[in-house]
């Protein structure tokens, strides 16, 4: 009989999922030597190597791949057990795991704070990342719910719109276009646009709009955060297309100004997303209902 501990399986599952000892250590709030020790002890128990290193990367061995399938199934059973116990506790205690794309992080903490004020026994684990990583969290069943502006096609998820997400064109206040109204879209071909990384929902919506209008824009800097785009626009490096929800502070302090361009704002939506047939805790079900019913009024 194998004397494998749940701790060893949890550490192994994280290393196998990331194929990285350092990322597993960061996720589990452990030191890298502690992670390595758990894996070494597990390999001694099973009497087989679980990982092999090729160059600078690690890979699962055949035994590792087999154990990974079992470790994921066990992790899911433990998660289901935790949900069942949380349901017995009601909303007096419970944990909400939520992932949001970086753009949504400008308003998500405000909504979470209002939810937690109402349900004071709830604790929240919030993961903020780019769209690709949030989708991976959904695929790996690591999060209850996710908030994003562009739900994916073709995977086993449910997405429901809960709030409008207007996209606007911003410029530094000294830009000559700031004094004009109803700017023709064609005029934007003379400007440089700062854009998010490939795969960004904001970038996809921007490019789709300009293609539909027959406009070819000049692309300047590409950045993987909204904050970097805002700073570059303020510095006069070009114009930016971004969610209205991300620039409230800059508008109030007159660091950025919204341009009056025909066809803008582009109205998109924020979505609450989860795996189909996901078994929810009472906390997750209540938070989803809270977003669908109350978020628009709270953010207006």
- What would the pLDDT profile of 215-257 be if each residue is shown by its tens digit? 998 999 999 889 999 999 999 999 999 999 999 999 999 999 9
C-alpha 246/C-alpha 18 separation (Å) is 31
**What letter would DSSP give residue 61?**
-
Token pair of 117 as six digits: 């004020």
Average pLDDT over the chain reads 89
Q: Confidence band (pLDDT; 50, 70, 90) for 102?
A: confident
> Which residue do the tokens 């646009």 mark?
193
Beta bridge partners of 243: 167
Q: Which residues of 191-205 are buried (b: 16+ CB within 10 A; e: fewer)?
A: bebbbbeeebbbbbb
At 252-292, the pLDDT tens digits run 999 999 999 999 999 999 999 998 888 788 888 899 999 99
Give the CATH number of domain 165-268.
Answer: 3.40.190.10
- Third-level CATH fold of 90-163+269-299: D-Maltodextrin-Binding Protein; domain 2 (3.40.190)
Q: Assess whether the region 6-83 and the region 165-268 belong to the same CATH fold.
A: no
Mean pLDDT of 100-127: 90
- Any idea where the domains of the chain sit in the sequence? 6-83, 90-163+269-299, 165-268
Predicted pLDDT of residue 110 = 92
Give the tokens for residue 155.
């995977």
**What would the pLDDT profile of 172-189 be if each residue is shown by its tens digit?**
999 999 999 999 999 999
Q: Supply the pTM of this predicted model.
A: 0.67
Mean pLDDT, residues 203-224 taken together? 92
Beta-carbon-side half-sphere exposure of residue 64 (alpha carbons within 13 Å): 20
Cβ burial, residue 88 (10 Å; 0-12/13-18/19+): exposed
Place of tokens 């297309």: 241
Q: Which residues are within 8 A (CB) of 181 and not within 5 positions of it... i.e. 6 or more apart?
A: 260
DSSP string, 98-126: EEEEGGGGGTHHHHHHHHHHHSTTEEEEE
Where do the H-state alpha helices sit in the chain?
6-18, 21-28, 32-46, 62-89, 108-118, 131-139, 201-212, 226-234, 248-252, 282-299
What pLDDT is attached to residue 172?
97
CATH 1.10.3720.10 fits 6-83, yes or no: no
Structure confidence by residue, pLDDT tens digits, 23-65: 999 988 899 999 999 999 999 999 999 999 888 899 999 999 9
């Amino acid at each position: 009989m194998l004397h494998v501990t749940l701790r060893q399986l949890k550490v192994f599952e994280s290393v196998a999922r990331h194929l990285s000892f350092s990322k597993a250590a960061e996720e589990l709030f452990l030191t890298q030597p502690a992670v390595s020790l758990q894996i070494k002890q597990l390999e001694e128990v099973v009497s087989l190597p679980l990982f092999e290193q090729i160059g600078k990367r690690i890979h699962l061995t055949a035994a590792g791949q087999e154990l990974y399938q079992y470790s994921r199934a066990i992790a899911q059973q433990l998660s289901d057990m935790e949900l069942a116990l949380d349901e017995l506790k009601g909303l007096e205690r419970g944990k909400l795991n939520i992932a949001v794309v970086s753009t949504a992080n400008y308003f998500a903490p405000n909504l979470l704070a209002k939810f937690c004020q109402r349900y004071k026994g709830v604790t929240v684990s919030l993961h903020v990342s780019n769209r690709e990583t949030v989708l991976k969290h959904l695929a790996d069943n690591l999060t209850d719910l996710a908030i994003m502006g562009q739900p994916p096609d073709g995977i086993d998820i449910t997405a429901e719109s809960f709030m409008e997400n207007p996209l606007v064109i911003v410029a530094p206040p000294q830009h000559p276009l700031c004094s004009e109204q109803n700017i023709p879209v064609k005029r934007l071909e003379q400007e440089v646009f700062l854009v998010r990384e490939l795969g960004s929902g904001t970038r996809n919506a921007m490019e789709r709009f300009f293609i539909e209008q027959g406009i070819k824009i000049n692309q300047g800097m590409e950045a993987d955060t909204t904050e970097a785009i805002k700073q570059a626009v303020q510095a006069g490096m070009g114009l930016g297309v971004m969610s209205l929800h991300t620039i409230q502070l800059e508008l109030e302090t007159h660091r950025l100004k919204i341009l009056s361009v025909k066809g803008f704002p582009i109205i998109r939506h924020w979505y609450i997303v989860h795996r189909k047939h996901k078994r929810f805790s009472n906390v997750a079900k209540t938070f989803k209902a809270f977003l669908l019913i109350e978020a628009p009024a709270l953010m207006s």
